[in-house]
Amino acid sequence: MPVLLLAASVTVVGCNEASFLVPPPTLRGIAIPLPPPSIADQVLVYIDVEGGVPMGFDHPATEAFVYETRTERGYFVGTDGLEFTVQDVLVDVTNNCLETWFVDGVDGEESSLVSYKAVVLEGEEACANPSCSAPDDLGACLCLEKWTTGCG
């Protein structure tokens, strides 16, 4: 009986591209331009998202991006120094995820992506948080919660 011998050689080469964390955007709060009688009774609401530009991205042509994954709408604005406001972002208050990042106006470098969820809260103490909108007539407000692993 003939014996067949096979020889195999496997070479594994690993290459990890070095990357440095670039400061992510920080959102400071939500403003609701014309609040409905009660935010809690609404499903779709237009909001203004305010934020701060991280150090190193304070160049004149830097842009701030917001992508709402559930409505699949994207928004971008030029930054004004260390601040930005994205107006009329459509969110479903029952199910939303806001992804945010910056693109440097000088060399096109992108910041890290950060996810936020807009949630309805009630009560004077909860709505006093700077990341919240002003309370409506019934004491409800819309607030930003940072999600470290994306909105799940």
**Dihedral sign, Cα of residue 60, residue 112, residue 83, residue 90:** positive
Q: Which residues pair with 47 in a beta bridge?
A: 89
**Dihedral sign, Cα of residue 88, residue 89, residue 90, residue 92:** negative
**pLDDT per residue as tens digits for the range 101-123:** 989 888 888 888 899 999 999 99
Three-state SS for 56-106 is: CCCCCCCEEEEEECCCCEEEEEECECCEEEEEEEEEECCCCCEEEEEECCC
Q: CB under 8 Å to 47, separation ≥6 — which residues?
A: 30, 31, 32, 33, 88, 89, 91, 118, 133, 142
**pLDDT per residue as tens digits for the range 37-47:** 677 777 888 99
pTM of the model: 0.74
Q: What is the mean pLDDT of the chain?
A: 79
